[in-house]
Amino acid sequence: MISRSPTLNVMMAAARKAARGLVRDFGEVEHLQVSMKGPSDFVSSADLKAEKVLRQELEKSRPGYGFLLEEGGEIVGDDRSHRWIIDPIDGTTNFLHGIPHFAISIALERDGEIVAGIVYQPVNDEMFHAEKGGGAFLNERRLRVSARRRIEEAVFATGLPFKGRPNHERSLKEVATVMATCAGIRRFGSAALDMAYVAAGRYEGYWESGIHAWDIAAGVILVREAGGYVTDIDGGTTMLTGGEVLAANDHMHAPLRTMINAARRGKD
């Protein structure tokens, strides 16, 4: 039995409580009330209900902490050192189309650093969780990033822009460059799960542009505690503010970053 801190237990309990409503709504997805946030970017009643439950549960256990919420925006708490970063449904479009690939993502930021994170996939009951210095786990099993060293054996994940989002042509160049060298590229529609899958060794690496802090904050600590590397596309540390991320095992991070930047420069 692994040992978890009280804070991580609070995060996991909040996610499981919110997930009960999500699973019910997922079973009746055709009845959801859906409004448009923007082109091809949906918000559902399920998003809002799940976010409300998460906020209530976390506030109850840690009063004073701030929040950065996908739907509710930023809420400054009395405790300026701590902030929850939450995506109630990462993979909303999948959810609304009846595709069982979505997750709840919760990260705890302390003085600007992510110190704990969970990504919970309720359909499969997969709870990915990590704390700084404590390792990364899937339920009770310790996680380690993939040990593959050869690009031709690697599977990578990415996200692709949709209607209303920029950089379609650039994204296609990046995919074309990477797909010519590797065993496959996946685009499953949940950044949080993409990061968790890198931590679990299911993917050798993942990159994406146009993402937000709530998409990847929990994934950052999952990958790092599983022995992987997380940076922005330029190799820097602006993942949570700059809208770009690259996560990979220690053998694939540098070559994947080199390929993406070469594609952006239009070089082979």
The residue whose two tokens read 């990477």 is 178
Among the options 57, 131, 204, 215, which is catalytic?
A: 215
89 is catalytic: yes
Decide: 128 and 136 in contact? Cβ < 8 Å: yes
Tell me how far apart the alpha carbons of residues 228 and 247 are, in angstroms, rounded to a whole number: 7
111 given a catalytic annotation:
no
Give Rg (Cα) of the chain. 18
Query: Which position among 25, 47, 51, 92 bears the catalytic label?
Result: 92
Q: For residue 213, what are the CA distances in angstroms to 17, 60, 68, 83, 86?
A: 23, 23, 9, 12, 9
Q: In what order do the strands lie in the sheet with 244-248?
A: 184-186, 155-158, 205-209, 244-248, 229-231
Task: Count Cβ neighbours within 10 Å for each residue of 148-168 and write b for 16 or more, e otherwise.
Answer: beebeebbbbbbbbeeebeee
Q: Minimal CA–CA distance to 144: which of 158, 128, 159, 157? A: 128
- Which of 47, 87, 131, 208 is the catalytic position? 87
Point out the catalytic residue in the list 89, 118, 216, 233.
89
Set 25, 90, 131, 194: catalytic member: 90
The CB-side HSE value for 209 (13 A sphere, CA atoms) comes to 18
Is 208 considered catalytic here? no
Annotation says 204 is catalytic: no
CB-based contact 246:102 (threshold 8 Å): no
In the set 25, 51, 57, 70, the catalytic residue is 70
Q: Assess whether 92 carries a catalytic annotation.
A: yes
Active site residue 234: no
* In contact, 85 and 109? CB cutoff 8 Å: yes
Q: How far apart are CA 105 and CA 112, in angstroms?
A: 18
Length of the chain: 268
Catalytic residues: 70, 87, 89-90, 92, 215
